[in-house]
Amino acid sequence: MTTAPLAPVAQARSLLHLTTAYHQAKALHSAVELGLFDLLADGPATVGEVKDKLRIVHPLAKEFLDALVALELLEADGDRYRNSPAAQAFLVSGASEFLGGTVLQHARKHYHVWAGLTTALQEGEAGSGAEAHGPEAYPKHYEDPDRARQVMAHFDTFSSFTAEELARRVDWSGYKSFVDIGGARGNLATRVALAHPHLQGAVFDLPGLAPLADELIRERGLEGRVRFHGGDFLTDPLPSADAVVTGHVLPDWPVPQRRKLLARIREALPSGGALVVYDLMTDPATTTVHDVLQRLNHGLIRGDSSSSSVDEYRAEIEEAGFRVRQAERIDNLLGDWLIVAVKP
Ligand SMILES: C[S@@+](CC[C@H](N)C(=O)[O-])C[C@H]1O[C@@H](n2cnc3c(N)ncnc32)[C@H](O)[C@@H]1O
């Protein structure tokens, strides 16, 4: 079946919508930066009340709130505004699947990197709006506790949904322990441990994250069952466990370091132990426009251009001495792929 071609005005309109798509993103960014959804989580408010409480002075405050209604982030009820169900579920601080962390990361970092896209393409690196990037940037981010918290909120946004999928799709029944290598402050490890009470969990990440990881482990009542280990995964001893999880870590590194990390993980696992990898992997059969743009985003933010296909991941994991026994696309925010492999 062929679809009828769009009329010229419709084609032109869709291009106009494309070139102004950032209006939508920036309205969302500002609402989160201002704390609007947190304010309205306490109850509906008029424009005047929102202006007072959030110290907004611009005469366009009402137009701003109306734009958020049009974007289905707010609902209008007479002269009052309240959070839409989606905003209430995902954009209020403290929500169990909070997306505000990643919205702020996009507002403060990614948006500025994209503003330099033309320069980046012509000069070979992200524009001057980009702060430090690449794997060397992590320790720098963690020197400032507020910055570390922001970065963790961004990672948590993604790993909350991923944890649910890993808890469900990996057969954990044959394992007693796991370690999440590059597991940030342990959002994924603690969620998997909560879903599978027989598991002992561990997180290995840079030492600067220890206070935030310990805080989260305490908050989730998992002291004694999930432990944080600080170190450099390319040089320091890795904790041994029956299963190693690692996600959104390998693409940060050039091939020699990826190989080294996989070899070190293999060494840390017993025979029969599992390697669980989740990542954005290219797959021509299921690629969407979001996947392609997300890959461009990752490359710009990380400062490299590597993106591997599912087949390349399989080959790399098998070359490292594992046998792949499961490979599937999962239903997390990015539509990552999950590969489970066993050390023979
Ligand atoms: C893109 S994040 C992924 C975090 C988490 N796995 C997730 O999926 O949200 C990469 C992680 O690797 C950690 N990392 C980077 N270099 C590291 C190193 N040399 N040793 C240990 N951890 C490292 C970072 O601190 C960060 O938490």
pLDDT tens, position by position, 191-239: 999 999 999 999 999 999 999 999 999 999 999 999 999 999 999 999 9
Write down the pLDDT at residue 258.
94
Q: 3-class DSSP state for residue 95?
A: coil
Q: Are 104 and 153 in contact (CB under 8 A)?
A: yes
* Cα separation, 256 vs 344, whole angstroms: 23
Split at pLDDT 50, 70, 90, the class of 127 is very low
Instruction: Report the range of poorest mean pLDDT among 10-24, 137-151, 315-329.
Output: 137-151
The Å distance, Cα 157 to ligand 1 centre, comes to 15
Ligand 1 lined by 312 (C-beta under 6 Å): no
Cα dihedral: 318, 320, 321, 327 (round 10): -30
Q: Are 65 and 47 in contact (CB under 8 A)?
A: yes
Q: Which domains does the chain have, with CATH numbers?
A: 9-90 (1.10.10.10), 101-342 (3.40.50.150)
Instruction: List the residue whose alpha carbon is closest to atom 6 of ligand 1.
Output: 183
pTM: 0.87
pLDDT at 70 over 90: yes
Ligand 1 lined by 226 (C-beta under 6 Å): no
- What is the number of the ligand 1 atom nearest to the C-alpha of 180? 6
Enter the tokens of residue 33. 């930066």
Highest mean pLDDT among 1-10, 62-71, 137-146, 289-298: 62-71
- Quick: pLDDT tens for 146-155: 989 989 998 9
Ligand 1 lined by 138 (C-beta under 6 Å): yes
Q: DSSP character for 309?
A: B
Pocket test for ligand 1, best of 165, 209, 249, 281 (most atoms within 8 A of CB): 249
Split at pLDDT 50, 70, 90, the class of 126 is low
Q: Are 281 and 308 in contact (CB under 8 A)?
A: yes
- Quick: pLDDT tens for 154-179: 899 999 999 999 999 999 999 999 99
> Which residue type, as a one-letter code, is found at position 40?
L
Burial 37-51 (b: 16+ CB within 10 A, else e): bbbbbeebbebeebb
Enter the tokens of residue 121. 């393409």
Q: What is the mean pLDDT of the chain?
A: 93
- Quick: pLDDT tens for 79-115: 999 999 999 999 999 998 899 999 999 999 999 999 9
Q: How far apart are the first and last CA of the chain?
A: 49
- What is the number of the ligand 1 atom nearest to the C-alpha of 158? 9
Q: What are the distances in angstroms from CA 302 to CA 109, 216, 245, 286?
A: 12, 26, 21, 24
Q: 3-class DSSP state for residue 339?
A: strand
The Å distance, Cα 114 to ligand 1 centre, comes to 23
Average pLDDT over residues 263-269: 98
Instruction: Report the range of poorest mean pLDDT among 43-47, 133-137, 173-177.
Output: 133-137
> Which residue type, as a one-letter code, is found at position 204?
F
Ligand 1 lined by 140 (C-beta under 6 Å): no
Instruction: List the residue whose alpha carbon is closest to atom 22 of ligand 1.
Output: 205
Ligand 1 lined by 206 (C-beta under 6 Å): yes
Ligand 1 lined by 249 (C-beta under 6 Å): yes
* Cα separation, 280 vs 290, whole angstroms: 11
Pocket test for ligand 1, best of 133, 156, 181, 206 (most atoms within 8 A of CB): 206
Ligand 1 lined by 233 (C-beta under 6 Å): yes
pLDDT at 130 over 80: no
Average pLDDT over residues 262-287: 94
pLDDT at 77 over 70: yes
- What is the number of the ligand 1 atom nearest to the C-alpha of 156? 9
Rounded to 5 degrees, φ, ψ at 204 are -120, 120
Q: Are 181 and 204 in contact (CB under 8 A)?
A: yes
pLDDT at 303 over 70: no
Write down the pLDDT at residue 110.
94
Write down the pLDDT at residue 200.
98
Split at pLDDT 50, 70, 90, the class of 313 is very high
Ligand 1 lined by 205 (C-beta under 6 Å): yes
Q: 3-class DSSP state for residue 288?
A: coil
- What is the number of the ligand 1 atom nearest to the C-alpha of 234? 19
Split at pLDDT 50, 70, 90, the class of 306 is low
